[in-house]
Amino acid sequence: MVFTKTMLFLLFQHFAITSCNAVVGHHHHPHHSLLTDKAALLEFKKAITDDPNSTLANWQEDTEVATSRVLAAKTNSVFIIGRLRYLLLEGNNFLGSIPDSLILPSKLTVLTLLQNNLTGGIPPALFSNCSMLRVLDLSNNFLSGKIPKEIGSCPNLWTINLYDNQFTGELPLFLTNNSLINLDVEFNLLSGELPVKLVENLPAILYLHLSNNNMVSHDGNTNLNPFFTALANCTELLELELASMGLGGMLPTSIGGLGVNLTNLLLQENRIFGSVPSNIGNISMLVVLNLTSNLMNGTISANISQLSHLEQLFLSHNSFTSAIPEAFGQLPHLGLLDLSHNSFFGDIPSNLGNLTRLNYLFLSNNLLSGKIPPTLGHCIELYKLDLSHNRLTGTIPPELSSGLSEIRLFINLSHNQLEGSIPIELSKLEDVQEMDLSSNNLSGSIFPQISSCIALTMINFSHNTLEGNLPDSIGELKNLVSFDVSDNHLSGRIPLSLNKSGTLSYLNLSSNDFKGMIPSGSIFESVS
Ligand SMILES: *[C@@H]1O[C@H](CO)[C@@H](O)[C@H](O)[C@H]1NC(C)=O
Ligand SMILES: *[C@@H]1O[C@H](CO)[C@@H](O)[C@H](O)[C@H]1NC(C)=O
Ligand SMILES: *[C@@H]1O[C@H](CO)[C@@H](O)[C@H](O)[C@H]1NC(C)=O
Ligand SMILES: *[C@@H]1O[C@H](CO)[C@@H](O)[C@H](O)[C@H]1NC(C)=O
Ligand SMILES: *[C@@H]1O[C@H](CO)[C@@H](O)[C@H](O)[C@H]1NC(C)=O
Ligand SMILES: *[C@@H]1O[C@H](CO)[C@@H](O)[C@H](O)[C@H]1NC(C)=O
Ligand SMILES: *[C@@H]1O[C@H](CO)[C@@H](O)[C@H](O)[C@H]1NC(C)=O
Ligand SMILES: *[C@@H]1O[C@H](CO)[C@@H](O)[C@H](O)[C@H]1NC(C)=O
Ligand SMILES: *[C@@H]1O[C@H](CO)[C@@H](O)[C@H](O)[C@H]1NC(C)=O
Ligand SMILES: *[C@@H]1O[C@H](CO)[C@@H](O)[C@H](O)[C@H]1NC(C)=O
Ligand SMILES: *[C@@H]1O[C@H](CO)[C@@H](O)[C@H](O)[C@H]1NC(C)=O
Ligand SMILES: *[C@@H]1O[C@H](CO)[C@@H](O)[C@H](O)[C@H]1NC(C)=O
């Protein structure tokens, strides 16, 4: 979200001007333009129908022109000594709208009205005299209508943030004399084709955030090439966000012309199909690539291994039908790899074990087969490992658990064809909270040392062929909330220790060969 950056920006600027603030004085004969500034403020105040924080209470006709160039909610006692430069009114719950005839004070540099409840449109007249305006932040309001093209007459505008409003129509072709570096119109109702002419004229832009609108690609939402070709003019681009728009087309080879410093490319929740082209390797500074929830059904170029700074790769919920490229194992900084919900088949490449910084590995819901590579045990910083819903066979490699003692959150190997016993090394996972090994062919008994996994809140060993007694030590798992060992061949007595647990709220022991009395108390009172 951009407004944090905007704020930083402001802070920096604020610093630059605080020295002027110290001036206090009475100006009995304010210059005409000061009165113009004051008139503009009073006009704004008149259009605010509800000011629950009484932020504007001191803005009165008879207030003396006083102390500051900065007018902010936090220092609301001020009127201005010099010309008003900064009008900072975020988070005041204002109701009302921006008056049609309001003209921004001509020296105004920063206007922030974010997080209010303003309705109505942005009146074009606002920008009649905006040559000094650098930052306009109207995000998180209920503003609607078209974005006026007059916004383009502010030659020094650096930042336009209209995030989360209800603007409609097309993005106007701002002619901002090439100074715009930050444009955020996410979460609006903008329509029309992706703005080729606009981006061709934004050579200085760093942040281009258009996500969550109703825009389409060219040729009836089938062609992304014209837009990506035009983006080649944005040589400084750092972040491109085009998510959740239903954009159609293939990833064009012109993607290789994106700014060499691009770090974030967010294209999730669109209708993009085909391959990840080899030109992806050109965007060599990329840190986050998100293609989740598209229709990708081609190949993934091995050139992706050239993205040596990549930290997060989201390819889940697509229609990939290839093997998992070895190239992923060559991304030294990768911390997240999400390939879930595709049709990747074949073995899990053993070189994924080279990804020693990996925190999240999601390969679930694919057609992967073969054994779990023991090398995954080298990914010593894994927090979450999900290999569920594949066709994996063989035993659970002991190396997995001995290497992965860092696993914090969960390990999910369920819905595969794993066999053999549950390796006792799993008892080393002291931080794991959820362990799901259900729906495999695991046999043997549940070892008593399971109680060493003291952080466990959830155990699911159901639908296997486990046998023997349920160890008494289960009752020592002080955080256990859910315990499911149903549909196995467990026998003997149900351990009395289970009713010691104050946290357990789901217990399923059904379809086993348990004998004897069902213990009384605690969880057993509420479970059938
Ligand atoms: C306005 O009032 C609300 C609730 O009293 C408070 O949370 C918020 O911080 C106030 N806003 C400002 C800018 O002081
Ligand atoms: C713009 O502001 C300047 C200086 O404050 C003023 O002289 C001029 O008349 C204004 N122009 C418009 C169109 O309001
Ligand atoms: C402003 O909008 C927010 C978010 O929709 C809402 O929670 C709040 O109650 C509104 N405030 C007023 C004063 O209407
Ligand atoms: C570009 O800037 C110049 C002077 O800085 C100004 O005269 C001109 O109107 C601006 N162009 C547009 C389209 O705003
Ligand atoms: C965009 O880049 C192309 C190719 O470098 C160039 O021909 C064109 O003039 C640029 N457009 C603008 C508006 O600068
Ligand atoms: C890329 O970033 C570097 C370092 O910030 C900078 O020196 C360089 O000019 C940038 N390149 C372009 C094309 O913007
Ligand atoms: C990508 O990189 C290659 C090799 O460095 C270069 O020839 C090509 O022009 C770049 N641009 C695109 C759009 O592929
Ligand atoms: C893909 O990578 C190969 C080998 O590094 C390189 O020769 C080729 O130019 C790359 N292709 C593109 C389009 O970048
Ligand atoms: C990637 O897209 C998915 C699906 O929309 C989303 O849940 C996730 O937060 C996104 N991640 C980033 C870093 O954008
Ligand atoms: C991928 O999907 C597109 C659009 O649905 C289709 O035209 C194309 O034939 C598919 N390609 C493959 C390799 O399945
Ligand atoms: C990566 O992993 C493979 C297979 O596990 C191994 O043979 C290779 O030496 C590793 N490469 C590096 C650079 O660590
Ligand atoms: C493990 O994966 C299965 C299948 O993908 C899923 O149904 C289950 O909820 C997951 N378990 C946990 C603890 O998330």
C-beta 257 within 6 A of ligand 7:
yes
Which of 331, 354, 378 has most ligand 11 atoms within 8 Å of its beta carbon, as the pocket-test mutant? 354
Q: Is residue 209 part of a domain?
A: no
Q: What is the tens place of the pLDDT at every residue in 152-191? A: 889 999 999 999 999 999 998 887 767 899 999 999 999 9
- 192 CA from centroid of ligand 5 (Å): 22
What's residue 14's pLDDT?
A: 38
| E strand intervals along 29-188 | 48-50, 70-72, 86-88, 95-97, 110-112, 117-119, 135-137, 144-146, 159-161, 166-168, 182-184
Q: Is residue 277 part of a domain?
A: yes
Q: Which atom of ligand 10 is nearest to the CA of 274?
A: 1
Q: What is the mean pLDDT of the chain?
A: 87
CATH number of the CATH domain containing 289: 3.80.10.10
Query: Where do we find the tokens 């046999």?
Result: 443
Find the radius of gyration of the CA atoms of the chain: 30
> Ligand 10 atom 8: the closest Cα is on which residue?
274
> Which of 216, 111, 231 lies closest to 162 in space, CA to CA?
111
> Ligand 3 atom 4: the closest Cα is on which residue?
117
- Which ligand sits closest to the CA of 203? 5
Q: What is the tens place of the pLDDT at every residue in 461-502? A: 999 999 999 998 988 888 999 999 999 999 998 888 887 777
- Which ligand sits closest to the CA of 222? 10
- 290 CA from centroid of ligand 9 (Å): 6
- 447 CA from centroid of ligand 10 (Å): 49
- 259 CA from centroid of ligand 6 (Å): 9
Domain that holds residue 289: 217-236+245-309
Which of 231, 234, 236, 237 has most ligand 6 atoms within 8 Å of its beta carbon, as the pocket-test mutant? 236
- 3 CA from centroid of ligand 4 (Å): 27
What's residue 261's pLDDT?
A: 96
- Which ligand sits closest to the CA of 481? 12
- 281 CA from centroid of ligand 7 (Å): 9
Residue 310 in contact with residue 333, Cβ under 8 Å?
A: yes
C-beta 428 within 6 A of ligand 12:
no
Which of 279, 284, 285, 303 has most ligand 7 atoms within 8 Å of its beta carbon, as the pocket-test mutant? 279
What's residue 81's pLDDT?
A: 52
Q: How far apart are the first and last CA of the chain?
A: 49
Residue 127 tokens, joined: 């920008």
Q: Is residue 397 part of a domain?
A: no
Which of 200, 227, 228, 234 has most ligand 5 atoms within 8 Å of its beta carbon, as the pocket-test mutant? 200
Q: How far is CA 326 from the centre of its chain?
A: 27
Which of 233, 236, 237, 254 has most ligand 5 atoms within 8 Å of its beta carbon, as the pocket-test mutant? 233
Q: What is the tens place of the pLDDT at every residue in 342-401? A: 999 999 999 999 999 999 999 999 999 999 999 998 988 888 999 999 999 999 998 887
Strand 288-290 relative to strand 48-50, pairing: unpaired
Residue 484 tokens, joined: 């499911």
Residue 136 tokens, joined: 């306009």
Q: What sign results for the dihedral spanned by CA atoms 114, 116, 119, 123?
A: negative
> Ligand 5 atom 12: the closest Cα is on which residue?
200
Which of 50, 89, 93 has most ligand 1 atoms within 8 Å of its beta carbon, as the pocket-test mutant? 93
- 281 CA from centroid of ligand 8 (Å): 7
Q: Is residue 119 part of a domain?
A: no
Q: Is residue 354 part of a domain?
A: no
Strand 182-184 relative to strand 159-161, pairing: parallel
Q: Which atom of ligand 8 is nearest to the CA of 279?
A: 13
- 129 CA from centroid of ligand 2 (Å): 6
- 245 CA from centroid of ligand 4 (Å): 33
* Count of structural domains within the chain: 1
Residue 330 to residue 27: CA distance in whole angstroms:
68
DSSP state of 432: -
Q: Which residues contact 39 (CB under 8 A, 6 or more apart)?
A: none
Residues with CB under 6 A from ligand 1: 53, 73, 91-93
> Which of 181, 168, 160, 228 lies closest to 200 in space, CA to CA?
228
Q: Is residue 323 part of a domain?
A: no
- 286 CA from centroid of ligand 6 (Å): 14
- 351 CA from centroid of ligand 11 (Å): 5
Q: Which atom of ligand 2 is nearest to the CA of 107?
A: 5
> Ligand 9 atom 12: the closest Cα is on which residue?
290
Residues with CB under 6 A from ligand 6: 235-236, 260-261
> Ligand 1 atom 5: the closest Cα is on which residue?
53
> Ligand 4 atom 12: the closest Cα is on which residue?
153
- 468 CA from centroid of ligand 10 (Å): 51
Q: Is residue 83 part of a domain?
A: no
Residues of the chain with pLDDT under 70: 1-32, 34, 61-82, 177, 402-403, 405-408, 519-528
Q: Is residue 149 part of a domain?
A: no
Which of 314, 316, 342, 362 has most ligand 9 atoms within 8 Å of its beta carbon, as the pocket-test mutant? 314
